[in-house]
Chain A
């Protein structure tokens, strides 16, 4: 589209963004508000959600949203800050879930104990199982994470261990539904802000360097597999935590913990919500999970639905809601003559 004069898009940071960089934000209330209001909206919004949404159904939905949000944050973290695409979030959920269920049903430990233990133990086990593919190119990580939930589900079913197709019954639930909800919400907020902080720390820089330029990192005397492993432990911990909470919510652990939903929905949520922002995936879950629950009656159609959305976004290289949102918030654009 060439007209007489050629124009290009120019994007500039808004004045207030520049003024609120670093320490200068403390200079005035307006700048402080510019920075803190979005975060406060998110935190307050999530905290009052259980009070506002009526009924058992929506309470359940909120908890499920939070669990998926944990998975989505872990996917975004691994994919965009380390270049490791995890196609099998269900692997973490299943591992954490089964460990928590076994600890609870067989050893009688209360959820207060099983959840942290399942998180840490599960993260260790998952990372150990993923170690062989860490020194290799990203493709292998994607392949192996894809396989693990599929194969593990089949193994449990075929060997009829860990409850086989029936699963492990009789898992305790949380003290009451308020504890249930606020625990998961608090966990999500904790990890969200924690990971956002982490990627700006020195360790976070190392992660990004491992993704962009691993030869240079090697030349600096650092073992990139080690740093990738650290990141995988963190991501796996989030997934296992979600799985552990889930079994206490459903009071049951079964093969469906390895279901495709847990692998695909976080990816779709990340892509829709805005990859790389860590908040975007949470937003994506808030959008997708209620839709998914509504679609449950249509059976596996919902997976078709997420998959097609995923393909659409990947193919059209859409930036995602939060990326668009952050850009609009921080920058303005105008057309200039070339």
Chain B
């Protein structure tokens, strides 16, 4: 029973982490390797607003999200746009920026136990005999809400539809008058905000550590590969798959093996079905 509960929580957490990356890659085919860095950075910015400047919690998060969205847009506009189309350079550039951010934070003294974000709501509740704190319930609830609103956004709003169009076929979208650069910018900003949102929801569950930046990047990529690069439904399914797999290993093997699960998931997917569960990219076949 507790496997079910913790599994669900872990899965939703993974889905939250992966969503931003999946969105940006799905729409503009840019793998944003600075994703993990943005996640951690938003946590630190929120912390700064909250503790150092004493702002209201909700306000801190809001301002952080706006700033992070802006950062994502700047990142795209000044760095990624110049290397758009050259997949390798995109990876190197975004990875390098992510590194610069993470290691910069580490150097800036943001390490140690003293950086925490408070939970939204204190207290816990019993579900099926297991104590679950409210923060985790908030994570699941808000997580589901975010996925739903993302679905709604991309299916019913003009910008959302434009983004989906770009995801399916960029040339066709261009011919229909959709400004692909602008859309990629928007996608990047939204992706960054999703990373920030994930940070805001998940970081209160523990400390803000620079290491989690790398972990989040690895997990987000694992989820996206298993689910299929470019498929959002796949990402969600994969999140549940990996999420439960991780909890099962924790229960039966020990909690050290969590990252191993992520790595094995990637390797197995690449060996068995490289395009992932719902992969829309028939990678090597139909290319002649």
Contacts and interface: CB of A to CB of B under 8 A. Distances in A.
A139 B218 contact: no
Contact of A147 (B78, B103, B218): B218
Interface in B205-241: 214, 218, 221, 225
Contacts of B93: 310-311, 314-315
A142 interface: yes
A144 B266 contact: yes
Interface string A82-119: 01010100000000000000000000000000000000
A23 interface: no
Contacts of A146: 33, 95
Given A87-B95, A311-B79, A136 B259 contact: no
A133 B288 CA distance: 21
A81 to B, nearest CB: 13
A219 to B, nearest CB: 9
A310 to B, nearest CB: 4
A310 B83 CA distance: 13
Contacts of B260: 151, 155
Contacts of B88: 79, 83, 85, 138, 142
Interface residues of A, number: 43
B284 A137 contact: yes
Contact of A314 (B31, B78, B96, B214): B96
B103 A132 contact: no
Interface stretch (B173-181, B184-192, B267-275): B267-275
Contacts of A317: 82
B140 interface: no
A256 B277 CA distance: 36
Q: Across chains A and B, which 10 residue pairs bring their CB atoms closest together, nearest first?
A: A158-B256, A307-B100, A307-B96, A303-B103, A132-B270, A300-B103, A310-B96, A307-B99, A132-B271, A85-B88
Interface of B: 31, 33, 78-79, 82-83, 87-89, 91-93, 95-97, 99-100, 103-104, 106-107, 214, 218, 221, 225, 256-257, 259-260, 262-263, 266-267, 270-271, 274, 283-284, 287-288
